[in-house]
Structure 1
Amino acid sequence: MACFETRLRRQALYPAGRGGAAGIARVVAHPRVGYWQGLRVMLLAVCLSSGLASAGEGDASQFNLAGQLERLTTRVHIAGEEPTTATLAERMATYRVPGVSIALLEDGAVVETLVVGHRDRAQRLPVTPETLFQAGSISKAVAVAGLLQQVETRGLDLDAPVNTLLERWQVPAHEWQQQEAVTLRRLASHSAGTTVPGFQGYAAGAAVPSLLQVLEGVAPANSAPVVVEQQPGQGYRYSGGGTTIIQLLLEDVSDEPFAALLQSQVLAPAGMSRSSFEQPLPGSLLANAALPYRADGKAVPGGPHIYPEQAAAGLWTTATDLLRFAAEIQQALKGESDRILSPRMAAAAVARQPGGLGLGFFLAPAQGTVTSFSHGGANAGYRAHLFASIAEGDGIAIMTNSDSGRQLIGEIMQAVAPHFGWQGFEPVVRVRASLDSAQLERLVGDYHSSRPVESTVQVRRSGDHLLLTVPDFLQEAAFLPESALSFFSFENISLTFETDETDRIIGLVLAGIHAERMAPEANRSVP
């Protein structure tokens, strides 16, 4: 599901003039306020079409988050061209993101929350700091924290074959089973070789499978069975299916439902009072939950999807609660907390495993001493990101209720990172080539991809560049040429076209996903 997550409409190339901001409210706390004392906050304003309201309390952080987001630029800058800038409200309008919630962490404490726009656009209900969003795959990081806690308290072996621990289901036999086993460590670091990278969820009114039906890939499950297709321990292979095995194991060893176990052992101890793994979300929390929207701005029919794959994609939470979780990891690493993980288990979580990941987290930099941990999330109609430094105790959580939220998140991270000295978010400079209309027209058509999900990639020409649409993922995303067959988006997504021995276009590769050209070759270019 997370493979086609970027959309950039044509107007983003030439932004319109400034417009009125969507509802924006800023909440600031003293940067040294006690973590477990909570945040003393004041909601200063929610302006539903009249611009920005912000204020601080006491000796608030000198960093002005709202002000920093007044000059956003795309992730890619074109060599020789001055990058255009836009406000947060303008970017939200461009990407059709109804609402966003951003929280900042400094020295282990949440110091600021900025909420913008609507959780329900039709009813014009604003996002508040208490608004819940689906966290998507960030769920995996929290679930693995629950696993590591059980490893320590129950004496589970991270390196034992997981089939020796499972009770209700077994990992199917595979060709490498005599040499390499699927283990908890490998499942938690996406190096077990298991399949099913992501899950679609289940729309309102649809039959929802049991956890065993998901793992076996039988009706009413809408995903393939979880099997081993790569030698365990050989390297990285992202697998939501593997995290679903962890969910089953936690239920087996604890004799508790997964959501209840994580509530008592992780969410409550971390102070995540506005979070739940329950699917569907209980009514008491649903009243202030953000509704999901597609990349074209339309509401997801029926509202939030249900994810029985709770460990992989089932967490409902707030930006502030995500930072409370991150702060607990940071404090455990310093030996200052063991509320959810001991210092030893926290160290294991951020220790680089074969394949490059930690246990439940992506780590940076790719080589050398690990300085930060993070995870992104993508469910139907939601995009989110959690990032935290290790030594400084800083971090950020961003949650949106749109399939095109990833683009906005990238620009927000790029704007905030310099203040904290976070590396890896600098703009990417690309060289733009010039192609004539004939060179672009030969690429126009529909392309079919069957993995990871059935998708049709529509390629159209718009002047001197291409527009790509993938239903529910991309909506007229602009791709600029850097050669006759290679293109890039302003979010630094790469697109390459494939040819046969006669130089005929036969397929494309978009963000690592292959699609074959379909016949007839429809020409639906835009002048």
Structure 2
Amino acid sequence: MFAALNVKERMEHYKIAGLSLALIQDGKINGTEQYGLKEADTEDRVNENTSFHSCSISKFMTAILVLKLVEQGYLDLDEEINAKLTSWKLKASEQIKGKTVTLRDLLSHQSGIIDPEGSFSEWKENDEVPTILDILKGSTTYCRGPIKVECEPKSEFHYSDAGFCIIQQLIEDTLKKSFKEVIKESLFQPLQMNKSFIDITGLENISSGHNKNGELISRKYPFYPYPAACGIWTTPSDLAILVLELMNALEGTSQLGISIKNAKELVSPQGNVNWTGLGVFLDSFDKDVEISSLGWGIGFQCMLVAYPSLKKGAVIMTNTDLGVHQMKGLIGEIYSSFFGN
């Protein structure tokens, strides 16, 4: 599939334990490939159904979920979020009181929220698992201060896990169900994303995380208690299904009932930033728009890239954190080999 790239040799070079990928061409999954081990120093090989930690690619899944809930009338991209938040309200600093924050602002990281430094780490095994309300109130070490609007909404870009925690709480307050239930019922089940999970307890076909030296991390399966932001486990094939759903929605054939209008919102520049859409990042090559979502956490790195107008895309997931940006490692080499960029 990559004539100019010896993936196995490059995995050895970068000390990557395991890798899984899915490629999209002509509007369909054109192939999947798996390499290496689910866990170093075992004989347990990665297969197509092995779930990896998606890290912040969870935000792309959350964005698609939001669009479906917008179509169903539960949410509105441009309504003030406090209108439907019942268990907690977003407050603003004194100097910007009166400014409203919308779902569109949160999805595009332009809400004026600045995540407290050192927040949103992986869960530590002996700690009590914090709730999203605990996180938003700033009452735990996982978010070192109450979440509030620090600068004028739509004025600046600040990448924010807190913003997606608010989206999660908004969904739970509005539908009176857990985020885990909603995303399973509204996204995973309708699209038959059968290898996508928030709770991996008892599951066997799960990849362990590794550090840049290819060594198993201390907690093999890192847990982040903010699934809408960075806590979903999945496979490249399942993510490819979601990419195809977006491509189909842009042509009016969405399985989830997402309209062309709202699908275009996701892949269009938002606010004052031309390189962020709703839950994805944007780049342009000639007339083609590239959307991307990157996942990077303890023990894992992954990348989702698609050109909706070309019906082409790739999802690449590894169970090793190289300590460098995806494009400076094997993921970047696979990207260049497939897309020719």
TM-score (norm 1): 0.60
1:237-258 per-residue CA deviation (whole Å, 9 max, x = no partner) reads: 1101101100000001001110
Residue of structure 2 in register with 1:133 after alignment: 52
Residue of structure 1 in register with 2:240 after alignment: 323
Which structure has more RCO (C-alpha within 8 Å, separation ≥ 6)? 2
> Does the alignment pair 1:194 with 2:113?
yes
Q: 1:378 aligns with which of 296, 304, 316?
A: 296
Letter in structure 2 aligned against 1:229: E
Residue of structure 2 in register with 1:214 after alignment: 135
Residue of structure 1 in register with 2:216 after alignment: 299
Residue of structure 1 in register with 2:188 after alignment: 267
Whole-angstrom distance in 2 between the partners of 1:303 and 1:101: 18
Secondary structure of 1:377's partner? strand
Whole-angstrom distance in 2 between the partners of 1:162 and 1:119: 41
Question: Cα distance 1:363–1:309, how it changes in 2: closer, same or farther (>3 A)?
Answer: same
Question: Cα distance 1:141–1:321, how it changes in 2: closer, same or farther (>3 A)?
Answer: same
C-alpha displacement of 1:157: 2.7
Unaligned runs of 5+ in 1: 1-63, 71-87, 419-424, 426-527
> Does the alignment pair 1:397 with 2:328?
no
C-alpha displacement of 1:155: 5.0
Residue of structure 1 in register with 2:256 after alignment: 339
Residue of structure 2 in register with 1:171 after alignment: 90
Residue of structure 1 in register with 2:43 after alignment: 124
Question: Cα distance 1:178–1:200, how it changes in 2: closer, same or farther (>3 A)?
Answer: closer
Residue of structure 2 in register with 1:412 after alignment: 334
C-alpha displacement of 1:296: 2.6
Query: Contact 1:101/1:319 (CA < 8 Å) preserved in 2?
Result: yes
Question: Cα distance 1:189–1:276, how it changes in 2: closer, same or farther (>3 A)?
Answer: same
1:412-454 per-residue CA deviation (whole Å, 9 max, x = no partner) reads: 1111112xxxxxx3xxxxxxxxxxxxxxxxxxxxxxxxxxxxx
Structure whose alpha-carbon radius of gyration is higher = 1
Residue of structure 2 in register with 1:25 after alignment: none
- Name the stretch that deviates more: 115-124 or 313-322: 115-124
Q: How does 1:137-152 map to 2 (within 5 A)?
A: 137-152=56-71
Secondary structure of 2:265's partner? helix
Letter in structure 2 aligned against 1:152: E
Whole-angstrom distance in 2 between the partners of 1:262 and 1:274: 13
> Does the alignment pair 1:159 with 2:81?
no
Question: Cα distance 1:206–1:304, how it changes in 2: closer, same or farther (>3 A)?
Answer: farther
Question: Cα distance 1:311–1:183, how it changes in 2: closer, same or farther (>3 A)?
Answer: same
C-alpha displacement of 1:338: 3.7
Whole-angstrom distance in 1 between the partners of 2:300 and 2:257: 27
Whole-angstrom distance in 1 between the partners of 2:248 and 2:62: 18
Residue of structure 2 in register with 1:204 after alignment: 125
Query: Contact 2:193/2:238 (CA < 8 Å) preserved in 1?
Result: yes
1:444-491 per-residue CA deviation (whole Å, 9 max, x = no partner) reads: xxxxxxxxxxxxxxxxxxxxxxxxxxxxxxxxxxxxxxxxxxxxxxxx
Question: Cα distance 1:371–1:219, how it changes in 2: closer, same or farther (>3 A)?
Answer: closer
Residue of structure 1 in register with 2:4 after alignment: 68
Query: Contact 1:203/1:303 (CA < 8 Å) preserved in 2?
Result: no
Whole-angstrom distance in 2 between the partners of 1:175 and 1:134: 39
Query: Contact 1:97/1:400 (CA < 8 Å) preserved in 2?
Result: yes
Question: Cα distance 1:155–1:258, how it changes in 2: closer, same or farther (>3 A)?
Answer: closer
Question: Cα distance 1:177–1:156, how it changes in 2: closer, same or farther (>3 A)?
Answer: farther
Residue of structure 2 in register with 1:234 after alignment: 155
**Equivalent residue pairs, number:** 333
Whole-angstrom distance in 1 between the partners of 2:34 and 2:338: 16
Question: Cα distance 1:241–1:227, how it changes in 2: closer, same or farther (>3 A)?
Answer: same
- Name the stretch that deviates more: 225-234 or 183-192: 225-234
Letter in structure 2 aligned against 1:342: S
Q: What value does the CA root-mean-square deviation take over the aligned residues?
A: 2.0
Query: Contact 2:66/2:75 (CA < 8 Å) preserved in 1?
Result: no
C-alpha displacement of 1:361: 1.2
C-alpha displacement of 1:343: 2.2
1:245-288 per-residue CA deviation (whole Å, 9 max, x = no partner) reads: 0000000100111011001111222221111133xx131xx301
> Does the alignment pair 1:113 with 2:60?
no
Query: Contact 2:168/2:228 (CA < 8 Å) preserved in 1?
Result: yes
C-alpha displacement of 1:378: 1.1
1:340-381 per-residue CA deviation (whole Å, 9 max, x = no partner) reads: 522222111112111231111111218x85622110111211
Question: Cα distance 1:369–1:214, how it changes in 2: closer, same or farther (>3 A)?
Answer: farther
Query: Contact 2:20/2:32 (CA < 8 Å) preserved in 1?
Result: yes
Residue of structure 2 in register with 1:289 after alignment: 206
Query: Contact 2:40/2:215 (CA < 8 Å) preserved in 1?
Result: no
1:192-232 per-residue CA deviation (whole Å, 9 max, x = no partner) reads: 12122872211334332111111122235355442322221
Whole-angstrom distance in 1 between the partners of 2:74 and 2:32: 39
C-alpha displacement of 1:126: 0.6
Query: Contact 1:196/1:225 (CA < 8 Å) preserved in 2?
Result: no
The share of aligned pairs that are identical, in percent, is 33
